[in-house]
Structures are given as structure tokens and as C-alpha cells.
Homo-oligomer: A and B are copies of this chain.
């Protein structure tokens, strides 16, 4: 366990009471978790079917029948199996090849919720899911309903696209959380057995397949499994995946060749890009530019940062640094969204960040949150936390409606509903959130992220407690082995006064508080006689802490006008507005249609902006009202005419937080506004 350095706070040691975040967490607990359970059991009217429980039960039966010699596997290699006309076949796999993972993500979210909000009824429901999973596990530990139902002999022959190791990763994340929440070993045992089954087939040893996940996450998950069990072999397997990836001969190319030799056609999607779609175009430690499928990439580099930290691998750490730079300096939306193109749900060229055709998948922003936290663990620099916060407050939250009942997969920064409906080039962009997707990665991913917020807000080394996000709540920290209870009072993102009070325990050590990048004029007040040092964007306050000690932090929240790098063509001549970590947008509901005709003088508008307390979907939010001009819509103008200075009228522009958009019906939306 040496060299672990900074670890996120154990969720069980925090109690979030924050008005803003509690609402999201309560939505997850009271709306999303029950809704998703219904979805996993195909009980949501009008939503695409999940098939999760169906597949688990079918697999369990198949295993029993196979033992009794009564099972004839189907042989299909389709990544998606749709329900035929008529009733579903109870013994058949349906849905996407990665469908198992949806239930695992749900279980993980449930576990975080149980940690802070015990609920015997919910735990009993979750136990049903755990039992179903366990029943679907093969005797040798293998667990993937797709192959159990479609031909167990074909398992591990399409690591590239068939997601067995991805499902394993989500299972493991769930198993660790489930044990931490309930103390129960059952799902962890399942995960360990699957891990050992995989490691028996895939690895660097003789006779093994030198493969690695087509969709990463197992790397991060194995690290957690190591941390939970103390079994070094799991860390070694994680390191093996990271180190083997992208080496020549390319495993995916080999896999396709072998598959075709066996008479099974396998897609060579990504071959032209040398499998950059899968981040397998060259060894991870040689990578510079972030490429390919955005969720895959974020999950990989999260795992790679874990491995770099835990094995002291400096070359790998340097690669993570380079890729981080490529991500946040060239390929990230102002909302913390990543993956600009729907083609392959992928990163586009540097600085190619279209607003209306954006992909910016919710899960990719969640992946960026994971990556950022792990970069923070490598080095506590507030710039990583700035990005983590940006993605959380904007794209991750935007992914879920304010009633917790519908979700965005894609998060555009500009929407014209008429174009979304009629233009097939924008068919991935939805102007309103959807109930549930056949490919439902985002809703349960939002749930597990929001439910584990405290693991992002705070982290610990033996002698330092870091506060990354100012979330109201109570924390049981430990400094140099001495317990210390802290109370955080905060009202972000709407107001910036933070008070941290020691409410119990006495300890020597450092409380480190992030000075957000957006808070240039931030001030801190510390107890008399304490030491204050500013380092890498954190105030390090050291002292002998005792009850009653108070730290006050003032984070002014002026409205800021923001410009993008001049290389971002799509944002040339445009400005966006932020306040604290929150990105704002204009909606048609407040400002009428044709938002592209609105123009602002950015600096003047920011200075003159007024805040307006309002409510959207039941959530109190701070809106902004600022001076702008609206160009004439020229209804009777000809298509082309002699240029004339545009005729404008002054208007009061109302902006709302981006995460709250599309909660008041369908309409235009725009983050980046034209300047004058």
C-alpha cells in the first residue's frame, strides 16, 4: 500500500447538507434510483427496454440448463439484439452487448446512497439485483450474459467491441461500493472471481491473450479492487492493461484477423485510424493528443493516472500530463464537456468545438471528472479541481432534468429545435431530455457520480485534508491519525461566503482549501496564530486544530465575460458569461427566438449585469440580466442585400445557468453570444 499519497475522502466520513447539491442527491435517491430500477426491469411505459433483469435471469437459467445438457446456445455476433415482433423469448439476450453494465452502475449509485442514507427497503431491492447477478455467474467466475446466452465458447474473442471487460469494471466498482455501504462480501466475491477468470485468460503470461479492454474502465476498477482487498494481483492487472495497450503487434488487429480466420466477421471500425478510437494507436506512455471515443479516453487516462501514482511510474505520469493538457487546453467546451463530434462519440481536432453540432456526452464529462480527480491525486494543483468543478456544475448536472425524470446524452451549447428535428446532421442533438435510452449509460452514470459527490469534494493525505469543492456538510477527517470533525457552511454556486468550523476533535496538521481559478479576489481568514501558505492554488492552513476554530473564505462572484482561444473558429467573435463555476446560457423562453441576433458588449454587459433570484423546475437559481442589443430580424429582407450596419434595439438579456436549460419546454438555447 505504499506510495498511495492522496486518496478521496471515504464517502462514509462525510454528510452532505448542501442546499444545492443535496437537491441533486435527493433527486437521485428519490427519483432516479427508483426510476432506473423500474427501467432495469422493463417496467417504464414508453421508454426503450433495458433488458437488464431479463438477461440476468435468462443467463442464470441457461447455466443451469447447460449443466443439465439442455442448452443450445445461439450464435450471434451482433452488438445489438432487438426484440422481434411479438413477445420476447425469455431465453434470449436482448439489447446492447454492454447491457449488463447498466445494472452495475445502478447498484453503485444505490450503494453510495445507502452509505449516507440507510434505507432497508432500498437495500433489499438492491440485494435482489445482487442475487440476480450472482446467479448469472459461471462456475469459473465468468460473468457476461451476452456470451452465456450466445455462446460461451466465443468469450474473450472480441475484446475490442464486446465489452466484457467494461462490464467487469462496472461490476467491480459496484461491488466495492456495495461492500462499503452494506458490509456484505457477496458482490465483491463475484467481482474477484470474475477478475481471476479474466486474468487466467488475458495477460502477459505464456498461452494467454495479450489483450486489454476495448472500452476502458477495468483499469480504474482493478485499482479500487486492490484497495478494497489488498490483493496486489489486481493492481498488476491494471498496470498490465495500461502498459500493453497500443503496443505492436496491435492486439485489436490481431483479434480481427483471428476472428476472421475462425469464420466470424468482426468490424474493423477504427482500423484506418490505427485504433485511435480505442486509444490503442500507440503505447499509452507515448501518447500526447487525446483521441478517439471520449468516454473510453477519459476512463483510460483515469486508470493510467491511478497506475502512475501507485507504481511511481514517471513516464506514464508524464503521458497523463500531456494528454490532460491536450484535453483541457485544446478540446474541452467551456461547460467542461468533451468529445466534440458524434462520429465515434469522439474527440475532434484541436480547437474544433462546434456549438450546435456538439456531442459532449454526459458520460464523457463524468469521465473528465474522474480524470481530474486522479490528476489531483497525482498533484494537488487547483487547476485540476477547476476543471472537475466545471464539468460537475455544468455538463454533468445538465445531463439530468431538474425533476430527475429525463436525461441528456448529448449536451449541445446551441440549439435550434427546428434544425434538430429536420436536419439529419443534427440527429444526435435533442432539444429536450429523453426518458431512457436503449444505450442508457448516462442516467446511471450521473446517479453514481452525484451520489458520491463527497469523494470529489474532499481528499486526504495522512496530514492534509484537501477541500476541492465548497459543499456544505460535515466531515470526519483525520490529521496525522488524530480525528477532526469539521463543519462546512457554503452557499455555492449562488453565494460565495464559506465558513469552516472545527466541531470536534483536536489535531495537528493542514487543512488545505482550494482557491478557485474563477475567484481572483478570494480572501481567507484563519484563526489567530495559524500558518497560511498558498501553494498550487490551495491555501494551506496549519495549526493545532481544536473545536471552535473557524476559517472564513470569501469567494466573490462577479459576472465574467469569457472568450475562447482564437483558434476556436466556432467561437470567433463570441462571448459567454459565467458566475463562479456556473456557465450561463440564453433561452428562447426568456429572450424570444433568433438568439443569434442578440449581441453584447461583453465587458460592459458583465459589469452591468444584475442577478435575479428565480426558480426553474422548482430549483432556486440565480439568473443574470444584462444589457444587450437585438438586431432586426428583417422579415422582408431579401436573401442577400447590400451590407448595411445592422439596425438594433437595446434589450435586457436574461441568462440562466446552463445546467438548468431545457426544463421549461422546447426552445432555442445559446451559450456563446455574438459581441459588438
Contact = CB atoms under 8 A, between A and B. Distances in A.
A632 B330 contact: no
A573 interface: yes
A264 interface: no
B329 A638 contact: yes
Interface string A598-612: 010011001000000
B639 A329 contact: yes
A138 to B, nearest CB: 39
Interface stretch (A66-74, A214-222, A313-321, A557-565): A557-565
A640 B563 contact: yes
Contact of A566 (B348, B565, B573, B637): B637
Size class of the contact patch on chain A: 35 or more
Given A425-B425, A567-B633, A596-B572, A641 B562 contact: yes
Contacts of A644: 563, 603
Contacts of A565: 634, 637-641
Nearest to A340: B423
Given A418-B349, A563-B644, A566-B634, A330 B639 contact: yes
A196 B176 CA distance: 78
A63 to B, nearest CB: 39
A596 B332 CA distance: 20
Contacts of A352: 419, 423
A182 B405 CA distance: 74
Contacts of A662: none
A551 interface: no
B643 A343 contact: no
A639 B336 CA distance: 11
Contact of A643 (B330, B349, B563, B640): B563
A644 B563 CA distance: 8
A575 to B, nearest CB: 5
A3 B343 CA distance: 54
Interface string A341-358: 111100011001000010
Given A341-B423, A573-B573, A597-B572, A562 B640 contact: yes
Contacts of A332: 639
A68 B643 CA distance: 71
A206 interface: no
A344 B640 CA distance: 26
A356 to B, nearest CB: 8
Interface in A432-484: none
A674 B634 contact: no
A642 interface: yes
Given A348-B423, A423-B349, A560-B642, A594 B573 contact: no
Nearest to A342: B425
Given A357-B425, A418-B349, A425-B357, A562 B643 contact: yes
A198 to B, nearest CB: 33
Contact of A569 (B596, B646, B675): B596
A334 B638 CA distance: 12
A640 B423 contact: no
A211 to B, nearest CB: 27
Contact of A597 (B560, B566, B597, B631): B566
A639 B572 contact: no
Nearest to A564: B640
B425 A632 contact: no
Interface in A546-605: 560-569, 572-573, 575, 594, 596-597, 599, 602-603
A643 B561 CA distance: 5
A328 interface: yes
A422 interface: yes
A416 interface: yes
Contacts of A642: 560-563
A631 B332 CA distance: 22
Contacts of A261: none
B633 A566 contact: yes
Greatest chain B CB density within 10 A among A568, A631, A637 is at A637
A45 interface: no
Contacts of A418: 349
A602 B645 CA distance: 9
A675 B603 CA distance: 19
Nearest to A577: B643
A565 B637 CA distance: 6
A603 to B, nearest CB: 6
Interface in A114-173: none
Contacts of A602: 643
Contacts of A603: 643-645
A349 B638 contact: no
Contacts of A613: none
A424 interface: yes
Contacts of A561: 642-643
B638 A422 contact: no
Interface in A622-657: 631-634, 637-646
Nearest to A334: B640
A674 B348 contact: no
Contacts of A334: 640
Nearest to A427: B343
Contacts of A419: 349, 352
Contacts of A424: 341, 343-344
A14 B597 CA distance: 49
A580 to B, nearest CB: 14
Closest 3 CB pairs of A and B: A561-B643, A343-B424, A602-B643
28 contacts: A332-B639, A348-B423, A349-B418, A349-B419, A349-B422, A349-B423, A352-B423, A425-B425, A560-B643, A562-B641, A562-B642, A563-B643, A563-B644, A564-B639, A565-B638, A566-B597, A566-B631, A566-B637, A566-B646, A567-B594, A572-B596, A572-B597, A572-B674, A573-B674, A575-B643, A602-B643, A603-B645, A606-B643
Given A563-B642, A565-B639, A566-B633, 7 more contacts: A328-B639, A332-B639, A341-B423, A348-B422, A561-B642, A603-B643, A606-B643
Interface of A: 328-330, 332, 334, 341-344, 348-349, 352, 357, 416, 418-419, 422-425, 560-569, 572-573, 575, 594, 596-597, 599, 602-603, 606, 631-634, 637-646, 674-675
